[in-house]
Amino acid sequence: MSVGDNNGKIIAAAQERTSDTFQPELVTLAQAQVQQSWVLFDEPQGLVIRAIYVIRNANQDPIGMMEAGSVLGSEFLKSIKTRSDADLALIWNGQVRASTVDFGASPQFPSIAEVDAQAGDVLIQNVTANNKNYYGIFRVLRSSRQNPGLLAVLVPTAGVDQAQRTLIAVLVLLGLGLVGIVTLLAYRTARSITVPLGNLASAAQRIEGGDLAARVQQVSGHEIGTLERAFDTMAASLYERERAQREYLDEVRAVNEVADAVVGVTDAERIFARSLDRMVSLLNADGGAIVIREDPPGAPPGSGGRLNAPATVGIGPETAVMLAMRVLVRSEADADRIRLSAVSAGELRFVAHVPLSARGRTIGLLSAYFHDQRELTDTQARALRTIARLVSVANENADLVGELRVNNLQLERANRLKSEFLASVSHELRTPMNAIIGYTKLMLDGLDGEMTAQQQTDLFRVAQAADNLLGLINGLLDLAKIEAGKMELNIEEVNINDVTDEALELVRPHADEKGLEVRSLIPQGLPNVWADRARVRQVLANMLANAVKFTERGAVSVSAGAAEGWVTVSVADTGVGISPEAQAYVFDEFRQADSSTTRRYGGTGLGLAISKRLVTLHGGRIWVDSEIGRGSTFHFTLPIRV
């Protein structure tokens, strides 16, 4: 080791040197600001590796150089070999300059160019030296000079081959042992998996066959055990769900049977008997009873009265009433609550009561009797409550139907009396009215002598009023006949054009007075209808009279068309129109669009009502299309003569 200045002059040296300056190459490297570099030198004592370091002050300015070197000889390589079984060689310019063993005169080593061509400057190949085979690892030693060296690490193949054979033998033995162990473990693992899986498959097949109680009943100690437990849990859940579903279906079936038994039945005793039979069958009871509280005549509902047992099974009516009385007297609240209690009635020792309620009051009890004490399942309790509600509703419906039947009979009798009264009064009024009209016309014709102008005017008004009154009487008589079912139709083949012309002639005088045009737009060749000619003319006359009455200016027209076996006749006007609200009742008896219409135009409101009844008797229908201020169009249909 030596220290010099910036120019390479040696200031101090650890060994004696032949020159007082550093190698020029090292000085050049140092002066080129290279921090440190090393160079191989071929010197008389052998290959020497020398490295130079730049010495810097605190300001990083170079103040000198330091050189260190070492001889790379055979002794140096042998010192390294003591730590390894491999032999080493240092090659320079194609010659072995140092080695740990004598490789002879011409060892077969690769050239520096061959090693330099390899990735990473490393080459591995078999070589022969001094008649011995080696595994060689060669690496290029590069320094700052362009002439590199070559380091060789040589391992005798004989030792490697022996170690390789030993390793192979050991690996073969280990492989055989591992194969045996793996085979044994695989067999045990397969058994630990396949046996539980077989049990799972068997249980699954049993469940598929309908045995929902099937279980694995063997818990393994690994993931299969988790699967087994999950399977058993699933099977138990499925079994419970199927059981609940079966109970629910039994409940629904029984309730449906009760509903089927009471639907459409209006006799309360039949309802009670059928419902009680279904209830006893569903609960597997040994007896049953329905006890009803009958309110005294004229008393308000729920005021309390005599108890009656209209239906019993396996227990006497008197006993059922006595047992029910204790419950009904004690409490009226909680209508859905099932009361369980011990009883002593022959062989019956236990009873389940559920109240029968209607309109917020308790009307009786539905009771199920058993020979021994028991708890009702949730399904049985729900079914018992449902049957009680069905019985309550059916009983109330039966009562309502009975009341409705009585009311209908009374209404029918009152309606019949009204129709008979109208028919009788109308008939009795028509005879004197015809006489009044007849005598008035005779006087107007001058048969009783000359009259003054005022007398003629007064008699003319009397005649008009009498005609109107006669029309009203005829309308009432027709309505009474229709309601009494005594209106008879003389069905024949009718030509709509002819009937329309006849009806137009009846209203034309009134239309002419108001300056209205009335016309028929019915085409020729329209099919004939199958109807009562007089009644069709009456319907047309009523519609035309209304159209003329409610039209101040414009026109009134009649049109008709045929389609799908029916002729539709339409009467249109340009009058005041009808509101949508009034259209809903314009065909009712004694109704017009509003009271102001009645005051302004007069009339009783029977014309359209009678027209609707007559059209309905023919099998047709009648309706109106109208809008306020834009007139109205009334339509009715009649069947075509086939």
CATH of 488-639, one of 3.30.565.10, 3.90.1170.50, 3.40.390.10, 3.30.950.10: 3.30.565.10
- For residue range 370-425, list pLDDT tens digits in order: 988 888 887 788 888 888 887 777 777 777 777 888 888 888 777 676 666 666 66
Return the pLDDT at 336: 67
Which of 116-130, 180-194, 337-351, 470-484 ranks highest by mean pLDDT? Answer: 337-351
Q: Which residues lie across from 88 on neighbouring strands? A: 153
Tell me the CATH architecture of domain 268-408: 2-Layer Sandwich (3.30)
Return the pLDDT at 266: 62
- For residue 594, pLDDT over 60 is answered with no
Report residue 608 as tokens.
């359209």
C-alpha 312, offset from chain centre: 46
- For residue range 466-482, list pLDDT tens digits in order: 766 766 676 666 666 66
The rounded distance, in Å, linking the Cα atoms of 342 and 279 is 20
**How many alpha carbons lie under 13 Å from residue 444 in its C-beta half-sphere?**
15
- For residue 324, pLDDT over 90 is answered with no
- For residue 148, pLDDT over 80 is answered with no
Return the pLDDT at 389: 82
Q: Average model confidence (pLDDT) for the chain?
A: 79
CATH 3.30.450.20 assigned to domain 2-71? The reply is yes
Q: What percent of the chain has pLDDT over 90?
A: 14
Domain ranges for the chain: 2-71, 268-408, 488-639
Return the pLDDT at 599: 44
Q: What percent of the chain has pLDDT over 70?
A: 82
Give the start-end residues of each E strand in 261-302.
Answer: 287-294
The rounded distance, in Å, linking the Cα atoms of 551 and 543 is 12
Average pLDDT over residues 33-46: 69
Binned at pLDDT 50, 70 and 90, residue 36 comes out as low
Return the pLDDT at 595: 47
Of the candidates 537, 536, 560, 542, the one whose C-alpha atom is nearest the C-alpha of residue 618 is 536
